[in-house]
Amino acid sequence: MTTEDTTQSVLFPELFLKPVLAEFDQPDSSSDGGAVLLKGVDSKLSLTERLAGCLNDPRQPGKVVHETVDLLRQRIFGIACGYPDCNDSDALADDPIQKLLLDRDPITGQSLGSQPTLSRFENAVSNKDLFRMGEELADIVVEHHAKRLGRKVRRITIDLDPTDDPTHGSQQLSFFNGHYGSFCYLPMVGTLQFDREREQYLFAVVLRPGNAHCSRGAIGILRRIIEKLRQAFPEARLRVRLDGGFATPAVFDYLELERVEYLVAMASNAVLERHSEPLMRAVRTLSAVSGETETIFADISSYSAKTWPHPRRVIIKAEVVRFPGRLPKDNDRYVVTNLPHKPENVYTIYRQRGDMENRIKELHHGLEIDRTSCTDFRANQFRVLLTVAAYVLMQEIRNLASGTEFASAQVSTLRERLFKLGVWVERSVRRIVLHLPLGCPWFRAWRLIAQAVGATC
């Protein structure tokens, strides 16, 4: 930044009690001082190191300026800090904290990779690279929680859910989807929940064409994660929850072949409606008398669709929903399951998968996973995996913040309050000192997390 091409001061002559002059003249400083926590968590998980090992580097060794692991870290740490685009790299090339995160001297170290360098990096990945990286991410998540929880885990719940990723250009495999009313991709999101823990841990996001069936790729994802979980948690029971788009004969057959517990929503049809109509009549009467929302649960112990090889149990929720100022609305729902519990208990278990929507919202609004604007589909899948890696780091920071106000904070809150701290970087021969704000209101939580990743106080 030079005085020839930019104004480095701003004057407020009458806004405050005295004239206020804001000078942008502090060298060796950054607005991401707290982001050094990312380096600690990454080292604890060996995440970027392991992911870099999945990528083939076709460049000539003698001409390499930025190693693969450095480019990977630059993108993942950048996404976590709120810089989801390669275009952001030019403004951050000499940011002392961003350089420090890559083990470079924060003052005199080499500048970070430029936008063209990062774009070439993203567009150089192969299908094999992507598959290995996706598998490694899942391995890292499973291994970390196996180490954290040991063999005391009794049940692991696997949730899969599709989401939409609107596209606005000529991206490869972008198609119009009538359900979402736009051209888009349809990523599949997978999470794990251990026993009754609140957190649902992300282990996969697979980008799919915009016209993909909801269940496309589900069996492959489930097969791989179930194998990993059974190796890491041999005594745990596995449970799978899926929404109605997954209710296909192939998915049901696979789940029963694997002998896992399952709860899968199912769309209404004429036969199910005949079974539920007496319940709906009863619940309409109850709701009319009480003036409130009323619900009745029941089940069909041996429902058999034409494409099914044998009957299965279906839970029925017959409900009339009432809101002030609105007409009453029928709300019948159906869940196919092999659980033996009471119908209302089964539906409660299924309904808990709704918290996965919060994880998806974090990915969209906290980390902007939908920045899939590359023409090449593989480059877009790579960007998605980079965002998944950033989210894994953020979830671990949230775990380490247990007992603080950040134990259930959104990733955007974690970033704004723990990372976005102004810092002046001082370097001597012996050490590097980060001068952070004395009045930081979140210091105690920040220090607790820092200690958990190896800092001493």
pLDDT tens, position by position, 321-335? 999 989 999 999 999
Which pLDDT does position 368 carry in this prediction? 95
Which pLDDT does position 1 carry in this prediction? 39
Rounded Cα–Cα distance for residues 39 and 380 (Å): 25
Asked whether 261 and 339 are in contact (CB, 8 A), the reply is yes
Asked whether 449 and 400 are in contact (CB, 8 A), the reply is yes
Rounded Cα–Cα distance for residues 258 and 219 (Å): 11
Strands 237-242 and 155-162: parallel
Burial tier of 23 (Cβ tally within 10 Å: 0-12, 13-18, 19+): exposed
Cα distances (Å, whole numbers) of residue 340 to 90, 268, 303, 313: 58, 22, 15, 9
Helix (H) or strand (E) holding 99: helix 96-101
Cα distances (Å, whole numbers) of residue 111 to 6, 12, 65, 70, 331: 21, 34, 10, 11, 58
| Phi, psi angle pair for 157, to nearest 5° | -105, 125
From the DSSP assignment, how many helices (H) and strands (E) are in the chain? Answer: 15, 17
Q: Which residues of the chain have pLDDT under 70?
A: 1-7
Cα distances (Å, whole numbers) of residue 204 to 136, 225, 360, 410: 10, 9, 12, 19
Asked whether 413 and 15 are in contact (CB, 8 A), the reply is no
Asked whether 400 and 229 are in contact (CB, 8 A), the reply is no
Longest dimension (CA), the chain: 82
**Residue count of the chain:** 457
pLDDT tens, position by position, 32-82? 999 999 999 999 999 999 999 999 998 888 888 999 999 999 999 999 999
Cα distances (Å, whole numbers) of residue 443 to 12, 80, 269, 423, 448: 31, 20, 56, 14, 9
- Please enumerate in sequence order all residues whose Cβ is within 8 A of that of 121, keeping only pairs 6 or more positions apart, or say none: 68, 71, 75, 113
Which pLDDT does position 3 carry in this prediction? 42
Cα distances (Å, whole numbers) of residue 153 to 157, 197, 401: 11, 11, 21
Which pLDDT does position 6 carry in this prediction? 56
Asked whether 111 and 201 are in contact (CB, 8 A), the reply is no
Helix (H) or strand (E) holding 436: none
- What is the sign, positive or negative, of the torsion defined by CA atoms of 233, 234, 240, 246? positive
CA angle 41, 47, 52 (to 5 degrees): 140
Asked whether 222 and 158 are in contact (CB, 8 A), the reply is yes
Which pLDDT does position 4 carry in this prediction? 47
- Please enumerate in sequence order all residues whose Cβ is within 8 A of that of 385, keeping only pairs 6 or more positions apart, or say none: 130, 133, 134, 137, 205
| Phi, psi angle pair for 314, to nearest 5° | -125, 125
